[in-house]
Amino acid sequence: FMLTQPHSVSESPGKTVTISCTRSSGSIASNYVQWYQQRPGSFPTTVIYEHNQRPSGVPYRFSGSIDSSSNSASLTISGLQTEDEADYHCQSYDSSNWVFGGGTKLTVL
Amino acid sequence: QLQLQESGPGLVKPSETLSLSCTVSGGSISSSIYYWGWVRQPPGKGLEWIGSIYYSGSAYYNLSLKSRVTISVDTSKNQFSLTLNSVTAADTAVYYCARLPDCSSTRCLGVDYWGQGTLVTVSS
């Protein structure tokens, strides 16, 4: 299966942005979805795991959800800050095979 | 603190073989709830899972690369390795080694440890 993300999104500081991740086949609910933040020159770090769980240290402004009707997952960032500008990647799996989305560049302007 | 470190050549010629190793320190590679895997990222593009291996040697590969990829593990050295045959310019990427949870056995935290990444360029 594939995970499809928008190539880029942009929003102003203080606003809320949502990034989608659509699964091409199989149910989005059948395997957990994770979200990673990646700043230039660095490896990715997890901001959401198991659809909607936040690792310790990740601000409450980050939240995750899934929608079975659209077979997609979403990452929502509220109260946008300039430091949130980064690439965001969704990831899921099927058996022992992992799949990443194509990544979304978030611009905070 | 667990650390992963990639090693290998940064330049490979077209049609030749890319070989990388990942040394795990600060913990044992012999865990039944984690895979050890490789993820790559071409310049300016997204992440691509290449494959994963258990300490027992059971390996799983991305179908799009399966015919060219081998991942192996050496528990005595706490290392695992990647071999990619018949490389082309499309294989130019930053290659990361990583620890991936077995989501059927433990919390699905996502990749929780990454190597720093090593840029491999395919060029003559």
Nearest C-alpha of chain A: how many angstroms from B47? 6
User: Which residues in chain B have their CB less than 8 angstroms from residue A93's CB?
Assistant: 103
Instruction: Name the residue facing A34 among B48, B110, B115 (closest C-beta).
Output: B110
Does A93 contact chain B (CB < 8 Å)? yes
CB-CB neighbours of A62 under 10 Å: 18
CB A67 within 8 A of CB A74: yes
Taking the C-alpha atoms of residue A37 and residue A90, their distance in angstroms, rounded to an integer, is 9
A84 phi and psi angles, rounded to 5 deg: -80, -10
Q: How large a percentage of chain B has pLDDT more than 70?
A: 100
Q: Which residues contact A70 (CB under 8 A, 6 or more apart)?
A: A22
CB-based contact, A8 to chain B, within 8 Å: no
Does residue A96 surpass a pLDDT of 90?
no
The nearest alpha carbon in chain A to B66 belongs to A97
| Residues B79/B84/B88/B93 CA torsion (nearest 10 deg) | -30
- pLDDT (0 to 100) of residue B31: 85
Q: pLDDT digits over B55-85, tens only?
A: 999 999 999 999 999 999 999 999 999 999 9
Enumerate residues 6+ apart whose C-beta is below 8 A from A87: A37, A38, A39, A103, A104, A105, A106, B46
For residue B54, the chain A residue with the least C-alpha distance is: A96
Instruction: Provide the percentage of residues in chain A whose pLDDT is more than 90.
Output: 94
Q: Give the nearest partner residue to B46 out of A49, A89, A95, using CB atoms.
A: A89
The reported pLDDT for the residue numbered A91 is: 97
Positions of chain B with pLDDT lower than 70, given as ranges:
none
User: Averaged over A88-105, what is the pLDDT?
Assistant: 94
Please indicate whether, in this complex, the C-beta atoms of B103 and A31 are within 8 angstroms of each other.
yes
- Mean pLDDT for A12-26 is 97
Q: Cβ A100–B114 below 8 Å, yes or no?
A: no
| A108's tokens | 């905070």
Q: Measure the CA dihedral A103/A82/A10/A5, to 10°.
A: 20
For residue A36, the chain B residue with the least C-alpha distance is B110
Integer Cα distance of B121 and B124 in angstroms: 10
Residue pLDDT, tens place only, A41-78: 899 999 999 999 999 999 999 999 999 999 999 999 99
Render A39-105 in DSSP notation, one character per residue.
-TTS--EEEEBTTTBPPTTS-TTEEEEEETTTTEEEEEE-S--GGG-EEEEEEEEETTEEEE---EE
Query: Scanning the structure block, which residue is given the tokens 């310049």?
Result: B43
Residue A45 identity (one-letter amino acid): T
pLDDT of residue B104: 83
* Closest CA of chain B from A78, distance in Å: 22
